Structure 1
Amino acid sequence: MNYTLRLAAALAAGLAVPAAAQDTAPPKPITVSGSVGLVSDYRFRGVSQSDENLAVQGGFTIAHESGVYIGTWGSNLAGWGTFGGANMELDLIAGYKFPVGGGTLDVGATWYMYPGGFDNTDFIEPYAKLSGTLGPASLTAGVAYAPKQEALGSWYLNGTSAANGVYDRPGDKNDNLYVWGDVAAAIPDTGLTAKAHIGASKGNKGLGPFATSVAPTGEYVDWMLGADYAIPTTPLTLGVAYIDTNISEREAAYLQPSFSKGQDGTGTIAGSTVVVSLTAAF
């Protein structure tokens, strides 16, 4: 989706500025971009963070011409994804982009925060992403490694302990590795962009304090197939995506007691779903 939004923004900017001005106007040293949107389900690496309900999300990025950037992104949460906080995720992001060959290498880190929760539910995850193009397609390959932290430890031996708030191994620390690949391609004369994603998680099997985790079953694969439609003459993009994981129902049952506590307790937060989104870029 980010590729589509940036392409639409670039086209809009080109139409708004006369050709002569484009030739003489120097690039701005600092740019600000962002988006706000509504999704039918907030899925993080294939697993629902919003109890399979609506989520409002948004963020912005401040980038310098040198390639350095900082940003933030947030979403409401529900069920398992609250992690003891105020039903909100707030990410702080910083990184550096620079050209490599015919593509771009992006290195940085994300600090995942859950306002209102304890400090040990927050964690940091450095990442590296290499992006480029192949014909009409935009390609991205990435790796994210979260070093050992309490938020990624296995504090509970089973879902029942997590549901009851009984720590079996308090203070345990673990790490996690996530690798992924994305592809997106605009379909000429349609306003549509086809997109696909596949990712693999390996590391912190179990749930940490307040059920925190980025790979609760320890090792699994997530994937997505979808399309975005850039609505003409507007900054809006409508997206539809099929999302799934190879987490079995038996493995998902480990999450369910903590996930459904105080929630509706229906469905599985790791099963297949179709997510619809409406996003406005600026």
Structure 2
Amino acid sequence: MSGFVRVSCYVAALLSVSMAAPAAAEDLGGGFTVNGGATVVSDYRFRGISQTDKRFAIQGTFTVGHSSGVYGSVWGSSIDDYVAAGADAELDLIFGYKKTFGSTTIDGGLLYYYYPGSGGANTDFAEPYLKISQAMGAATLTGTIAYAPKQKALTVGNGKEDNLYLAGDLGYAIPKTPVSLTAHFGHSFGPSYLTIGDGYSDWSLGATVTHKNLSAGISYVDTNKSLYSPSGRNISKAGVVATLGVAF
């Protein structure tokens, strides 16, 4: 395991990675659908911390869903080698259940973070999550809780450690325009290897423009933590992140 930071990401949901523009899911029959996307980001940030030493990343996602609400996803991104003991990629394997009741959507499941190429180091871990979203006209308010129970991969030298992350997100689709605005605030409770010691907060403001299955976005990301990569860059410092995505 790297001696710096192996904070990783999901995101589709959890939480902070811009996804490609929405596209109609392809019907496979039997209640099954499939969709996916690819995105280029100028900096892969997860919970405010850069996973790419403040350089660009290539990301992709693929989801198979069922009309019952059950779904399975694979999300992947390039990463810098300080994240997970020399690994240059992150794969998030997700199994969940999502259902909408009126204007309220509940989404919960299990996320497994896998780092191919980490040379057998103890880097992989599991994190159950739960999100509740409330639509209010053109706005949507989402609360997220993600709890990684005690695991060896999260240790900071005191045996198995756990990690709790709480977040709130507000999205607003400007009526009669292709523009959506987002605001995010989250807090990671430490100590664990996801926080590198004490807990910290992260926040962001962003905007996305969509056209058919294409999207372009920009966001301002910041934290109240100070964390440096082996190259000497402050990977928790405020920065602007640009994204370009395509959905299929």
TM range (shorter): 0.7 to 0.9
Q: CA-atom RMSD, angstroms?
A: 2.1
Structure 2 residue ranges without an equivalent (≥5): 1-17
2:205–2:219 Cα contact (<8 Å) kept: yes
> Aligned equivalents of 1:217 and 1:107: distance in 2?
27
Give distance in 2, aligned partners of 1:266 and 1:240: 25
Q: Is the 8 A contact 2:164 2:188 kept in 1?
A: yes
Match of 2:214 in 1: 236
Partner of 1:5, secondary structure, is coil
2:96 is the alignment partner of 1:95: yes
Query: Counterpart of 1:145?
Result: 147
Q: Provide the rounded CA distance (Å) in 2 between the counterparts of 1:99 and 1:136.
A: 16
Given that 1:238 and 1:278 are in contact with CA atoms closer than 8 Å, whether structure 2 keeps it comes out as: yes
Tell me which residue corresponds to 1:276.
242
Q: Does the aligned pair in 1 maintain the 2:80–2:87 contact within 8 Å?
A: no
**1:218 CA displacement:** 2.5
Q: d(CA) in 2 for partners of 1:56 and 1:90?
A: 12
C-alpha displacement of 1:98: 2.3
AA partner of residue 200 (structure 1): H
SS in 1 for 2:220: strand
Q: Deviations over 1:184-213 (max 9, x none)?
A: 1111233111111111100234xxxxxxx3
- For residues 98 and 75 of structure 1, the distance between their equivalents in structure 2, rounded to whole angstroms, comes to 27
CA contact (8 A) 2:166 2:188 kept: yes
Aligned to 2:174: 187
Aligned-pair distance for 1:177?
0.2
Q: Tell me: CA distance 1:28–1:133, structure 2 relative to 1, closer, same or farther (3 Å).
A: farther
Would you tell me which structure has more helix in proportion to its own residues?
1
Q: Which runs of 4+ in 1 moved over 4 A?
A: none
Cα deviation 1:197-244 (Å, max 9, x = unaligned): 111100234xxxxxxx3212321100010100113xx41100000000
Retained in 2: the 8 A contact 1:51–1:79? no
Instruction: Provide Cα deviations, 1:149-185, integer angstroms capped at 9, x if missing partner.
Output: 1111113xxxxxxxxxxxxx6xx21000001111111
Residue in 2 that maps onto 1:19: none
Q: Secondary structure of 1:151's partner? A: helix
Listed as ranges, the gaps of 5+ residues in structure 1 are 14-24, 156-168, 206-212
User: What one-letter code is carried by the residue in structure 2 that aligns with 1:192?
Assistant: V
Q: SS at 1:214's partner residue?
A: coil
**Count of aligned residue pairs for this structure pair:** 229
Q: Counterpart of 1:173?
A: 160
Q: CA deviation at 1:79?
A: 4.5
CA distance in 1, matches of 2:52, 2:240: 14
Partner of 2:67: 65
Q: Using the alignment, how far apart are the partners of 1:69 and 1:181 within structure 2?
A: 23
Determine which of 27, 42, 45 is the counterpart of 2:44.
Answer: 42
The normalised TM-score by structure 2 is 0.86
Structure 2 residue aligned with 1:5:
21
- Cα contact 2:179–2:209 (8 A) shared by 1: yes
TM-score, normalized by length of structure 1?
Answer: 0.76
Show the 5 A alignment for 1:79-228. 79-81=81-83, 83-100=84-101, 102-117=103-118, 118=120, 120-155=122-157, 172-205=159-192, 213-228=193-208
Secondary structure of 1:66's aligned partner: coil
- SS of residue matched to 1:154: coil
Shift of 1:267: 2.7
Conserved 8 A contact 2:81-2:87: no
- Output one character per residue of 1:75-109: Cα deviation in whole Å (capped at 9) or x when no partner: 1111432x114311011000111234531111101
More strand by share: 2
Larger radius of gyration: 1
